[in-house]
Amino acid sequence: MRRNFLVLALAMAISHVACGADNNTTGHTSPEPPPEVSSKQADSMKTRLASQSSDQVDKLGPSSNALPPVPTLEDLRMVAPALARYTEGTLLGDLWKRPELSPRDRSIITVAALITRNQTIEMPYHFNLALDNGVKPSELSEIITHLAFYSGWANATSAVAVAKDVFSKRGIGSDQLPPASGEHLPIDEAAEAQRAARVEQDVGPVAPGLVQYTSDLLFHDLWLRPALAPRDRSLVTVSALIASGQVAQITYHLNRAMDNGLTKAQASEMLTQLAFYAGWPKAFSAIPVVKDVFEKRPK
């Protein structure tokens, strides 16, 4: 049996393939998809992808908006049979089904790692999987905006190029996107005063402009946008820090994530998920900092 697990992405690049219809039958265009998705649903994603042939796609040639070709599981087999085995057996068959973290959380972590590391090749597959796993279009949109600040502007631009096609093929319109500006979540004045004082002390003598933008733009605007729950925004941020090897900021943001509701068991499993999607060394480098945060948290 042939399971072209990445081929949807390629299909999306081909403007003449009329595949929008079957993509619109699983409920992900409704404004309120279920927040939790069972691993059974992840399986159905694999099956749905498997029903598309890469041969069919290859014949059509590129369109002017063509994304680069995305390897299928069959491609992996033609180059690295063991990699195909690990992908199918360990990642899709085991990691994504572990109970410590929901498929939705795993998708948030994985998407954050891919955007942070500018790995456009797997974005089409994982953007679609995220939407299937219960990440709302508005949340995926907001993750991209958030990571413009936490991984660099061009990373967000690259993600937009992919998400535009994914959204278009799934019939996701602007009514499902978060507004450019609007209502803010209430701010925790005490915590914000503490954060601002620390940054003023550390960064103020070096880069006052950076202090100002950090306050006005990040903590009095971006972080208060309701399109992404604070706990999810923190999960994105910590994943980005680990995936890019920026250990110095993990302490603050992991504590903030846990203040926002991320459990220790979830943070632990986040590291396991990131080992695969950002590489073992990045996960191992984060361990001492995470350990220190765990030990110093009030019980």
Interaction of residue 2 with its own copies, rule CB under 8 A:
no
> Nearest Cα to 233, choosing from 271, 281, 241, 199?
241
Strand, helix or coil for residue 144: helix
At 147, the amino acid letter reads L
Q: Which residues within the stretch 172-191 sit at the binding site for its own copies (CB under 8 A)?
A: 174, 177-181
DSSP letters spanning 131-148: HHTT--HHHHHHHHHHHH
Interaction of residue 287 with its own copies, rule CB under 8 A:
yes
Of 17, 200, 220, 279, the residue at the interface with its own copies (CB under 8 A) is: 279
Give the integer Cα–Cα distance in Å for 79 and 85. 12
Interaction of residue 56 with its own copies, rule CB under 8 A:
no
Interaction of residue 256 with its own copies, rule CB under 8 A:
no
Total residues contacting its own copies by CB under 8 A comes to 108
Interaction of residue 290 with its own copies, rule CB under 8 A:
yes
- Looking at the Cβ atoms of 219 and 260, the one nearer to its own copies is 219
Residue with tokens 């986040």: 270
> Which tokens sit at 100?
């410590």
The C-alpha R_g of the chain, in whole angstroms, comes to 20
CB of 194 to its own copies, least distance (A): 17
> Nearest Cα to 17, choosing from 51, 57, 54, 70?
57
Question: Which window, 25-33, 42-50, 156-164, 254-262, contacts its own copies (CB under 8 A)?
Answer: 156-164
Q: Which residues within the stretch 190-249 sit at the binding site for its own copies (CB under 8 A)?
A: 202-203, 205-210, 213-214, 217-218, 222, 225, 227, 240-241, 244-246, 248-249
